[in-house]
A and B are shown apart, each in its own frame.
Chain A
Amino acid sequence: MMRAPASLLPLRLEGLVFEAGGRRIIRGISATLKRGPRTVVLGPNGAGKSVLLRLCHGLLTPTAGAVTWNAPELPSAPRRQAMVFQRPVLLRRSALGNVRYALEVGGVPAREQEDRAYEALCKVGLEGHVDRPARVMSGGEQQRLALARVWALRPEILFLDEPTASLDPGSTHEIEKVILALHEAGTKIVMVTHNLGQARRLADEILFLCRGRLLERQPADQFLRTPASSEAARFLEGELPW
């Protein structure tokens, strides 16, 4: 009998350092991310938020330190983690074709692909756009399609890198609804944003990064009301902490 694979989580970051072009972007971050709470990574521009997400997701290799999963993914097995980028990259095919492609790469049998892809498009409210070419959709629709792709894959953990940074409030609201639904369905959410309103709406806990260091980790309410560090306080007041 097949046993369900052991959970990827918790994710342990130990003394993470990342350097590029002679600059130290991440300066020793250690943290443990557990299943459950929605984690939001906050911080000013250049704090290293996006780089941290890419290190976690395996798109970048740390210069020092380690990213350790509870039960690491096997190189040949389908991925159980996913990422949504600020600007979604979609293939020149239909909305359905884009989701099916992700399922194909994810090793989902061909006979299941169509149904799962359609179900995912319904979840993000794109059921009326199944056959539309993805690249000619609006920005908000494209990002919802990127989330449908994630939905179909049912990852254990989802990293989001400012997914609503270039969207209008209406589209942002739609995207946030889908993120909450993914959370309800059991996916661990780790999201980067510098939109404080969004952090307020979505975060259970907040990791505050500044200049490549993890300065604070607090429950969202507490952080937003009474930040511990002066940098975070100034960030919340809208001042740049330097």
Chain B
Amino acid sequence: MSTVSEAVAQALALVATWDPKLVSIVLLSLRISLSAIVFGALLGLPFGAWVAVTDFPGRRAVVVILNALMGLPSVVVGLVVYLLLSRAGPLGSFGILFTPAAMVIAQTILIAPTLAALTRQVIGDGWSEYREQLCSLGETRLGAAMTLLWDLKYSLVTILLAGFGRAASEVGAVMIVGGNIDGVTRVMTTTIALETSKGDLPLALALGLVLLSVVLAVNAGAYFVKETAQHRYG
């Protein structure tokens, strides 16, 4: 019991003193997961909106696949990206395996389908409400998708949040394609896994606390944005 309480005390000290190693790991994690969210959103949001407002053959299959991909195991994504980026792989010539770029790619692939599937849900509900009005005004399907994305932006914040949560907390993909190299590709989750297995609990605990706080802060922020917007714009 005393080891645990000591570890907690040391962890709090690390956080309180802005331990440089801790800070660099946290910043790298945020940089990678936020980049993945940006790229994932650029791919997932328009695609989800497009699926929601367009009728095409095979649309149901696309929806089922998107929904299934929400449960995509991160280690599988890691493995696939690893194979693609490894020396012998088709994208091996870029030489980005074991770099933060590879980690961004893996997390983007992991969360883009989630963002697309959830966006399709939100935009689809909006579309059934707006459809007749937008068609009456002569809006194109592409225009309608963009209009809905903009009009429902505060609901999409929650979706981005879910994506960020998944990206920031996954460990399998970044471990495989990043390699958990100290000072280069070591992020919060991989450090926690490594330090725990080494028995260095303070750093693992400190990072766990930071990870929790980040997720909590982002959630609180998104909730506040949505509530305020709902109140102001209805």
Contacts and interface: CB of A to CB of B under 8 A. Distances in A.
B135 interface: yes
Given A89-B129, A91-B147, A91-B151, A57 B136 contact: yes
B234 A92 contact: yes
A103 to B, nearest CB: 10
Contacts of A106: 137-138
A202 interface: no
Contacts of B92: none
A83 B137 CA distance: 8
A78 B136 CA distance: 11
Interface string A64-92: 00000000000000110011010011011
Contact of B234 (A82, A85, A102, A136): A136
B143 interface: yes
A70 B233 CA distance: 41
A133 B143 contact: no
Contact of B233 (A58, A59, A101, A133): A133
Interface in B126-151: 129-130, 132-139, 143, 147, 151
Contacts of A54: 132
Interface of A: 54, 57-59, 78-79, 82-83, 85, 88-89, 91-93, 101-102, 105-106, 133-136
A92 B138 contact: no
A89 B133 CA distance: 6
B233 A102 contact: no
B198 interface: no
Nearest to A84: B136
Contacts of A88: 133
A105 B130 contact: no
Interface in B94-126: none
Given A91-B151, A92-B151, A105-B143, A79 B233 contact: no
A88 B133 CA distance: 8
B145 to A, nearest CB: 13
B138 A59 contact: no
